[in-house]
Amino acid sequence: MSGATPLSRPRTAAPEWWRGAVIYQIYPRSFADSNADGIGDLPGITAHLGHVADLGVDAVWLSPFFTSPMKDFGYDVADYRDVDPIFGTLADFDALLAEAHRLGLKVIIDQVYSHTSDRHPWFQASGADRSNAHADWYVWADAKPDGSPPNNWQSVFGGPAWTWHARRRQYYLHNFLPEQPDLNVHHPEVQAALLDVARFWFERGVDGFRLDAIDYAMHDPRLRDNPPAAYTGKPRARPVDFQRSLYNRSHADLPAFIERIRALADHYGDRFLVAEIGGEHAEPEMHRLTDPAGRFHTAYGFNFLYAERLTPELVRRTLAEWPARPGVGWPSWAFSNHDAPRAVSRWATPGHTTDAARLNLLLLACLRGNVFLYQGEELGLTQASLRYEDLKDPEALANWPATLGRDGARTPMPWAAAAPFAGFSGATPWLPIPPEHAALAVDRQRDAAGSTLTLAKALLRLRHASPALRWGTLEFQDAPPDVLSFVRAADGERLLCVFNLGAEERTVPVAGVRRALIAVGGATPERLPPFSGLILDLPA
């Protein structure tokens, strides 16, 4: 690896702090445990924020830490305004926020507005009868004459999206687990209550929200059946894969509610909102909710998260959906997260795992848009292979062994290679730590020349110093098979970014290059070994 060369050209200030920012995702259960119960917590995060700040990221995104029965590990919220005791207290959160701000880090938190836990007081009241003040806060419907569910909608986690509630003598909608009933966000009082939740966290000083599964927040009140999905040739593991989710999500009234959230965020200044919108062909909905400027600042793309291979065609096709022109929103990219198998295990060929991990970091740092870096990605962590008896995730248990599951991407961070449980905890962790992860621990890589962690820091320093990489234009170049090449440009700076995504060496002569700013995998302007790449400075 060549070191990143500081850029000397004058640079203009970024249009906004979040545009082109690098955001580091922390999964609280698995980051660091401060009280030796085997589960990560808020004080553990606070104690390790120095590592995050040292990476050179702009912000952290915290997955849910709210009061929850943990049926879906925090995405089933029972109290939006409090911290679950396994993670700490509100005072612990305030201390985390203060330390992050002291270190120059923004703090983004998850907000789950499409559904709650069935233990939430709102749902407990709503299920009591059909006439109480919360009766219409969730999506209820009568059975068909034969007692079957109101329509054919299917849950993401498998089976019908409707569960019978004996007290109400009705079905309730849950696009996810039965323990995650869907809120009726069409209801004005529900919208007001959710805006109060947002106001609570903005008042505490958080810098923004990631809105989880926000496209599921509004359904078709007519409860029309979803149409069947065209067969693509891929195996369909869940009933939901057999239909187009046309009527159980993305209702036409949703943008108006998003505009209310955005107006509240703007009231507090430079706050940031990112939408999670998944599924195939999600781009139209992403564009709808990020344009005009009064909606989300950006949308979190899924194009790379479940891709089985990383190819130039995939990158070209994906980025082509977000051209730099008026009326098109700003994209965000992630290669890995807490829901998807780690990218290095999906994309690396045998014998090239480390090379692929480093190439992934290089490419991610060069993309136009915001970058979301998942904890451990800076270490080159692979997807953990777990025994069935070690699994905790309901999706993994339901689909075993058809998928890699989510638990394999959620194993604890390794901080110290020789310490018990790799320095994550003083007790047996909630998920096991693979020996190969301990060998990649932070203390092994922190000061090691040529380590993946050292590379990550160099790349993020370069991105932060470069207007071209942070918010510049992107123009694809012609390239040989398996090679991806594009130019990033802004403020008189032009950078050529070249990547060999294949397992065969390629030759790519480059004319007019002033210097190589950074290279991985032994790449040079004339030679690209397998899984290598570099960033080259071009004449202005």
Residue-by-residue pLDDT tens, the chain, 540 positions: 444 544 444 445 567 999 999 999 999 999 999 999 999 999 999 999 999 999 999 999 999 999 999 999 999 999 999 999 999 999 999 999 999 999 999 999 999 999 999 999 999 999 999 999 999 999 999 999 999 999 999 999 889 999 999 999 999 999 999 999 999 999 999 999 999 999 999 999 999 999 999 999 999 999 999 999 998 888 887 899 999 999 999 999 999 999 999 999 999 999 999 999 987 779 999 999 997 679 999 998 899 999 999 999 999 999 999 998 888 899 999 999 999 999 999 999 999 999 999 999 999 999 999 999 999 999 999 999 998 899 998 877 877 776 656 999 999 999 999 999 999 999 999 999 999 999 999 999 999 999 999 999 999 999 999 999 999 999 999 999 999 999 999 999 999 999 999 999 998 877 667 788 999 999 998 899 999 999 999 987
Q: Which residue has the tokens 């396994």?
A: 86
DSSP 3: P
Q: Which of 33, 32, 62, 4 is nearest to 372 (CA)?
A: 62
Domains identified in the chain, total number: 2
Cβ contact 313:307 at 8 Å: no
From residue 420, how far is each of 166, 174, 356 by CA, in Å? 49, 41, 29
pLDDT at 6: 46
Q: Are 174 and 181 in contact (CB under 8 A)?
A: yes
At residue 399, the pLDDT reads 72
Q: Are residues 401 and 498 in the same domain?
A: no
Residues 341 and 271 in one domain: yes
Q: Does a structural domain hold residue 103?
A: yes
Compute the distance between CA of residue 372 and CA of residue 461 in angstroms, rounded to an integer: 15
The model scores a pTM over 0.75: yes
According to DSSP, the β-strands at 370-374 and 330-334 are parallel
3-state class (DSSP) for residue 296: coil
The answer to whether residues 381 and 501 belong to one domain is no
The secondary structure element, H or E, covering residue 195 is helix 188-204
The alpha carbon of residue 324 and the mean position of all alpha carbons in its chain are separated, in whole angstroms, by 23
Domain co-membership, 500 together with 444:
no
333 & 279 share domain = yes
The pLDDT value given to residue 403: 63
Sheet bearing 515-520, strands edge to edge: 473-476, 483-490, 493-500, 532-538, 515-520
Residue 407 is given by DSSP the state G
Are residues 482 and 441 part of one domain? no
Dihedral, CA of residue 197, residue 203, residue 209 and residue 215, to nearest 10: 30
User: Both 348 and 233 in a single domain?
Assistant: yes
The helix/strand/coil state of 60 is: strand
Residue with tokens 């009326």, as numbered in its chain: 327
Whether 139 is covered by a domain: the verdict is no
Q: Return the pLDDT at 539.
A: 86
Which domain CATH number covers 532?
Answer: 2.60.40.1180
- Measured distance CA(298)–CA(531) in Å, rounded: 30
Q: Does residue 356 sit within a domain?
A: yes
Residue 64 inside a domain? The answer is yes
Which of 462, 489, 513 is the last residue in one of the domains?
A: 462
C-alpha closest to that of 81 among 69, 71, 73, 89: 89
Which of 406, 435, 462 is at the close of a domain?
462
| 162/148 Cα distance (integer angstroms) | 9
Asked, for residue 514, whether it belongs to a domain, the answer is yes
Neighbour count for residue 410 (Cβ, 10 Å): 24
Same domain flag for 417 and 507:
no
Residues 194 and 283 in one domain: yes
Residue 78 maps to a domain: yes
Give a yes or no: residue 307 inside a domain: yes
pLDDT value for 90: 98
Query: What CATH code is carried by the domain that includes residue 211?
Result: 3.20.20.80
Q: Which residues are catalytic?
A: 212, 276
In contact, 97 and 204? CB cutoff 8 Å:
yes
User: How many separate helices (H) and strands (E) can be counted in the chain?
Assistant: 15, 18
205 and 57 share one domain: yes
For the residues of 248-290, what is the DSSP string, one character each?
SS--TTHHHHHHHHHHHHHHTSS-EEEEE--STT-HHHHHHHH
Q: Quick one: tokens of 382? A: 């692979």
Q: Angle at which helices 254-267 and 283-290 pack, to 10 degrees? A: 50
| Domain match, 514 and 456 both | no
CA distance 98 to 173: 39
Query: How far is Cα 175 from Cα 182, in angstroms, rounded to an integer?
Result: 7
User: Domain range holding 516?
Assistant: 473-538
Overall residue count recorded for the chain in this entry: 540
* Residue 485 tokens, joined: 């090449």
Question: Which among 439, 462, 485 is the end of a domain?
Answer: 462
Q: Domain for residue 3, yes or no?
A: no
Residue 124 burial (CB count, 10 A) = 13
The predicted structure's pLDDT at residue 495: 96
Please report the pLDDT score of residue 12 as a whole number: 53
Q: Are residues 244 and 362 in the same domain?
A: yes
What values do phi and psi take at 484, rounded to 5?
-110, 130
